[in-house]
Amino acid sequence: MTKIKSVRTRVWNWTGKTVPPKANFCTNASDTLYERGDAMNSFRFHQWLTCEIETEDGTIGIGNAALAPGLVKQAIDQYYAPLVIGEDPFDYAYLWEKMYRRTHAWGRKGIGMVAISAVDIAIWDLMGKLVNKPVFKLLGGRTKEKIPVYYSKLYADSIPAMQEEAELAMKGNYSGYKTRFGYGPKDGAAGMRENLNRVAALREVLGYDTDLMLECYMGWNLDYTKRMLPKLEKFEPRWLEEPVIADDIHGYAELNRGPIAISGGEHEFSLMGFRQLLELKAVSVIQYDTNRVGGITAAQKINALAEAHQVPVIPHAGQMHNYHLTMASANCPMAEYFPMHDVEVGNELFYYIFEGDPVADNGYLDLDEHKPGLGLKISDKYIDQFEVTE
Ligand code: MG
């Protein structure tokens, strides 16, 4: 069997046009802190990392990561690449453990686990290409004909702008619609009213026969969320997402005993991290992102654990590394979906760097049986709008 010959990491810095941030488009973890300057800045990321792993026979697997790409690049170049070079990519479980255990002192969460994720995703893409099968076939095949997707955007804005976006989005027949809260604890009772008015306005447009998801992006706290929950109940949200910071897992557990399903996990890492969330019944929906959580090797274990607890997994952000797992797990009922749009928060960069990510059609997307690996290519379409560091 062919061996891993090289690992190439590149950071893609977007230099093209961006949509300027609007005030109060989404709360975030910095909101509760008095800060000078633009806290919203911490919410936007206009960089992405690609990790290309080549085997002796010239096959290249592509992984990616979105969090702190510059640091993740250094972690891969210095620590993780030497651990996989010379190895057989089909030893993926062994290679994962090797990366995890050799860097355990500092790598088990955060930057280290994001780096492991990028390498692991590249290895799975590589395995698929080497046996000429899509990754979802390696994971067990189709559990659904197509993947239902929910529309994710509806950042907080003026009520007419949000209603107009919702009306337009409904033409796509999505399985649900996710909005972001613009106001949190520092905005007091008046901010609560602003939040509630927007949810009411969206239900006015969407009606009650479709799911509406509510997202806080860690910008609330336990007390504020406990006061908001009873006010939100009448709007029948499918879930309330990341109300408090990722470390407050007891806060999640307390909130999840209430009337609204609490979702989270896009800032949690590895099987062990999710064991804690599941044992505490801290979330009713798991939302890992494969390119943070430990790659496909870790994500498929989390899928099994979540299934045993009967907690559905609906990964963060959509995108190919998540779709293959969603297709292959009966416990993943749908996927998040960002329609292609101008570069705004940063999630969109994925569609500018890669080609091959499926486009939703009438609320569903499909994966191609005939595209080996993840089915992604690095695109040259927007390459002149990136500054690439190697
Ligand atoms: Mg989220």
- In whole angstroms, give the CA distance from residue 284 to residue 365: 24
- In whole angstroms, give the CA distance from residue 366 to residue 358: 7
Within a domain: 91: yes
Total domain count, the chain:
2
Q: 10 CA distance to ligand 1 centroid (A)?
A: 26
Same domain membership, residue 222 and residue 167? yes
Bridge-based pairing state of the strands 211-215 and 239-241? parallel
- CA-based radius of gyration for the chain: 20
Same domain membership, residue 270 and residue 375? yes
Same domain membership, residue 175 and residue 244? yes
Same domain membership, residue 287 and residue 263? yes
Q: 384 CA distance to ligand 1 centroid (A)?
A: 30
Q: Which residues pair with 65 in a beta bridge?
A: 49
Q: Which residues pair with 14 in a beta bridge?
A: 386
Same domain membership, residue 279 and residue 294? yes
Q: What DSSP string describes 149-213? A: EEEE---S--HHHHHHHHHHHHTT--SEEEEE----GGGHHHHHHHHHHHHHHHHHHH-SSSEEE
Q: What is the pLDDT of residue 1?
A: 83
Q: What is the pLDDT of residue 31?
A: 85
Q: What is the largest CA-CA distance in the chain?
A: 64
Same domain membership, residue 106 and residue 32? yes
Q: 31 CA distance to ligand 1 centroid (A)?
A: 16
Q: 236 CA distance to ligand 1 centroid (A)?
A: 19
Catalytically active residues are 316
The domain boundary residue, chosen from 107, 132, 157: 132
CB half-sphere exposure, 264, CA atoms < 13 A: 32
Q: What is the CATH number of the domain that holds 337?
A: 3.20.20.120
Q: What is the pLDDT of residue 38?
A: 58
Within a domain: 352: yes
Same domain membership, residue 143 and residue 128? no
**Domain limits for position 85:** 4-132
Within a domain: 358: yes
Same domain membership, residue 152 and residue 96? no
Q: 375 CA distance to ligand 1 centroid (A)?
A: 25
Contacts of residue 1, Cβ cutoff 8 Å, sequence gap at least 6: 88, 90
Same domain membership, residue 145 and residue 122? no
Within a domain: 385: no
Cβ-in-10-Å burial (0-12, 13-18, 19+) of 37 comes to exposed
Within a domain: 390: no
The domain boundary residue, chosen from 83, 113, 132: 132
Q: What is the pLDDT of residue 75?
A: 98
**This model's pTM is above 0.85:** yes
Q: What is the pLDDT of residue 21?
A: 77
Q: What is the pLDDT of residue 13?
A: 96
Q: 207 CA distance to ligand 1 centroid (A)?
A: 23
Within a domain: 246: yes
Same domain membership, residue 226 and residue 354? yes
- In whole angstroms, give the CA distance from residue 217 to residue 316: 12
Within a domain: 8: yes
Same domain membership, residue 151 and residue 37? no
CB–CB of 181/157 below 8 Å? no
The domain boundary residue, chosen from 132, 161, 187: 132
Within a domain: 180: yes
Q: What is the CATH number of the domain that holds 75?
A: 3.30.390.10
- In whole angstroms, give the CA distance from residue 383 to residue 378: 9
Per-residue pLDDT tens listing for the chain (390 residues): 899 999 999 999 999 999 887 888 899 998 888 776 656 666 678 999 999 999 999 999 999 999 999 999 999 999 999 999 999 999 999 999 999 999 999 999 999 999 999 999 999 999 999 999 999 999 999 999 999 999 999 999 999 999 999 999 999 999 999 999 999 999 999 999 999 999 999 999 999 999 999 999 999 999 999 999 999 999 999 999 999 999 999 999 999 999 999 999 999 999 999 999 999 999 999 999 999 999 999 999 999 999 999 999 999 999 999 999 999 999 999 999 998 778 988 888 999 999 999 999 999 999 999 999 999 999 999 999 999 999
Q: What is the pLDDT of residue 148?
A: 98
Token readout for 31 is 């909101």
Same domain membership, residue 115 and residue 145? no
Q: What is the pLDDT of residue 40?
A: 62
Task: Calculate the alpha carbon distances from 295 to 35, 59, 301, 320 in Å.
Answer: 34, 20, 10, 12
